[in-house]
């Protein structure tokens, strides 16, 4: 026994020694990491810290004034009208996220499943569904605001020509339909993204599992429900987190569809627009206030993303 363990120990130390000679020194590793680390620090960490510092100061235009502690944060929740706009925008972001999960990501999953089994046209449809997200959100927004235009837009014109004139609406001018319209347009643009991720996830599931289930007499739907869907959990986690981050940072497409005030009457107002208005349309002290809002948004998005990811990881390990 002791002889065997002794041998093992020797082997282990040998491999360790070999690894040591092959492994570059710590300095080399550090040198290789340096460029990326510097870029990351200068362009990510530094602005974040800067925003945190800015948020505790008073501003006069671009000139920094006195240290005011948490006063800017307090102002966000007490100064009219931002104190009313902020909660409203936050709720809209939540709607935006739920709507996107239900519509965009469900459709993305459906398309991925439909396009998974190799048949003709697979590549064509994949390309078609992913094309819109190659276009700038602003272009997509303007395109759809023209399509949905109540006076000249083809959407209402088509409805009227089909005899469905009663369904014609000022889509972006009615508070009841404006945010759903934004969610749909955003989904139109991004649906290819979850589709690609789910597609890759489906391709990673071994066919043996499906075959075994089929031999046991499972239908396609049952295979999806009991084999494929549970095994997609990690991908669903990633898609959820990315959707969350994307939706809570939404700006371009909402701005193009509803303008900087989130028309009509603030029905499409989101946190990104509130931030933009505070920073660039606010008074002389706008920068401190806007930085405070940016810090809060970052903390919220960061915390929730970490929580969601941890939850999905726990779910995964429980399933295994």
Partner 1 sequence: MQKKTRFTALALLAIMMLAIMGSVVAQDDVTITVWSWRTEDEDAYNEIFAVYEAANPGVTVEFVPFVNTDYNNILATGLTGEGGPDVVQLRAYGSLQPLIEAGQLLPLDDLSTLENFTPAILKGSQGIQDGHIYGVPFGVQALGAFYNVGIFEELGVSEPETWEDFIAILDAAAAAGYIPLANPAKDSWMLPILHDAVAAPRYGGPEFEAAVLAGETNFNDPNYVASIAVLQDLQPYLPPDVVGVAYNDARTLFITGMSPIFIGGSFEIGFWQSEAPDIEVGMFMVPPPPDSLAGSFVPSWMDGSYGVNALTDSPEAALALVEWMGTQEFGQLFTDKIHQISPATGVVSSDPLLAEFAAGMTEHPASYLLLVNFRYGDPSGTTVLGNELQRLFLGEVTPEEVAAALQTGMEQWFVPANTE
> Which of 150, 180, 234, 246 touches partner 1 (CB under 8 A)?
150
With the CA atoms of 273, 277, 278 and 283 taken in that order, what torsion angle do they form, in degrees rounded to the nearest 10? -170
Which residue number, 228 or 269, has a Cβ lying nearer to partner 1? 269
* Integer Cα distance of 224 and 113 in angstroms: 9
| 230 near partner 1, rule: CB under 8 A | no
Tokens of residue 25, six digits: 């020194």
Tokens of 160: 């009227």
- Site membership for partner 1, residue 180 (CB under 8 A): no
Does position 302 interact with partner 1 (CB under 8 A)? The reply is no
Q: Does 251 bind partner 1 (CB under 8 A)?
A: no
Question: Does residue 171 touch partner 1 according to CB under 8 A?
Answer: yes
| Closest separation in Å from C-beta 285 to partner 1 | 8
Q: Tell me the backbone φ, ψ of residue 206, rounded to 5 degrees.
A: -70, 140
Q: Among the residues of 232-285, which ranges form H helices?
A: 233-248, 252-258, 271-281
Q: How far is the CB of 151 from partner 1 (least distance, A)?
A: 5
Which CB atom, from 94 or from 265, has the smaller least distance to partner 1?
A: 265
The dihedral region occupied by 256, where left means phi > 0, alpha psi between -120 and 50, and beta the remainder, is: alpha
Q: Does 263 bind partner 1 (CB under 8 A)?
A: yes
Closest C-alpha among 63, 72, 96, 68 to residue 269: 96
Cβ atoms within 10 A of the Cβ of 167, count?
Answer: 11
Nearer to partner 1 by C-beta: 180 or 230?
180
Told to check if 232 binds partner 1 by CB under 8 A, we report: no
d(C-alpha 258, C-alpha 267), whole Å: 9
Q: Please count the residues of this chain forming the interface with partner 1, following the rule CB under 8 A.
A: 32
Nearer to partner 1, 33 or 176 (CB): 176
CA-CA distance, 71 to 128, in Å (whole number)? 50
DSSP helix/strand/coil, 58: strand
Burial class (CB in 10 A: 0-12, 13-18, 19+), 70: exposed
The site map against partner 1 for 6-45 (x = CB under 8 A) is: ----------------------------------------
Q: How far is the CB of 171 from partner 1 (least distance, A)?
A: 7
266 binds partner 1 (CB under 8 A): yes
Our CB check for partner 1 shows the closer of 42 and 265 to be: 265
**Are the beta carbons of 234 and 148 closer than 8 angstroms?**
no
Q: Does 66 bind partner 1 (CB under 8 A)?
A: no
Query: For partner 1, which residue of 116, 261, 309, 315 counts as binding (CB under 8 A)?
Result: 261
Round to whole Å and give the CA distance between 19 and 32: 19
- Between 174 and 316, name the residue whose CB sits nearer to partner 1: 174
**Does position 163 bind partner 1 by CB under 8 A?**
no
Binding residues for partner 1, rule: CB under 8 A, are 60-63, 79-81, 145, 149-152, 169-175, 259, 261, 263-266, 280-286
């Amino acid at each position: 026994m002791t002889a065997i363990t002794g041998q093992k120990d020797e082997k282990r130390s040998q491999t360790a020694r070999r690894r040591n000679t092959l492994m570059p020194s710590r300095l080399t590793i550090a040198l290789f990491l340096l460029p990326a680390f510097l870029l990351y620090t200068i362009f990510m960490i530094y602005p974040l810290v800067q925003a945190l510092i800015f948020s505790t100061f008073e501003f006069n235009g671009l000139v920094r004034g006195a240290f005011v502690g948490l006063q800017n944060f307090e102002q966000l929740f007490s100064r009219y009208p931002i104190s009313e706009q902020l909660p409203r925008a936050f709720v809209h972001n939540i709607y935006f996220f739920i709507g996107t999960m239900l519509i965009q990501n469900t459709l993305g999953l459906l398309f991925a499943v439909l396009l998974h089994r190799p048949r003709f046209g697979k590549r064509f449809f994949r390309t078609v569904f992913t094309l819109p997200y190659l276009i700038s959100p602003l272009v997509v927004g303007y395109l759809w605001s023209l399509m949905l235009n109540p006076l000249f837009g083809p959407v209402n014109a088509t409805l009227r020509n089909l005899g469905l004139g009663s369904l014609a609406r000022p889509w972006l001018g009615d508070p009841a339909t404006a945010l759903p319209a934004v969610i749909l347009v955003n989904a139109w643009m991004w649906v290819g993204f979850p589709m690609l991720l789910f597609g890759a996830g489906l391709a990673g599931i071994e066919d043996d599992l499906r075959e075994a289930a089929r031999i046991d007499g499972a239908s396609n739907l049952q295979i999806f429900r009991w084999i494929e869907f549970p095994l997609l959990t990690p991908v669903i986690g990633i898609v959820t987190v990315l959707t969350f981050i994307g939706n809570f940072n939404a700006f371009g497409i909402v701005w193009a569809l509803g303008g900087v005030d989130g028309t009509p009457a603030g029905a499409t107002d989101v946190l990104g627009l509130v931030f933009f208005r505070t920073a660039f349309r606010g008074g002389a002290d706008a920068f401190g206030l806007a930085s405070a809002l940016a810090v809060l948004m970052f903390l919220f998005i960061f915390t929730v993303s970490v929580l969601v990811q941890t939850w999905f990881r726990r779910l995964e390990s429980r399933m295994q």
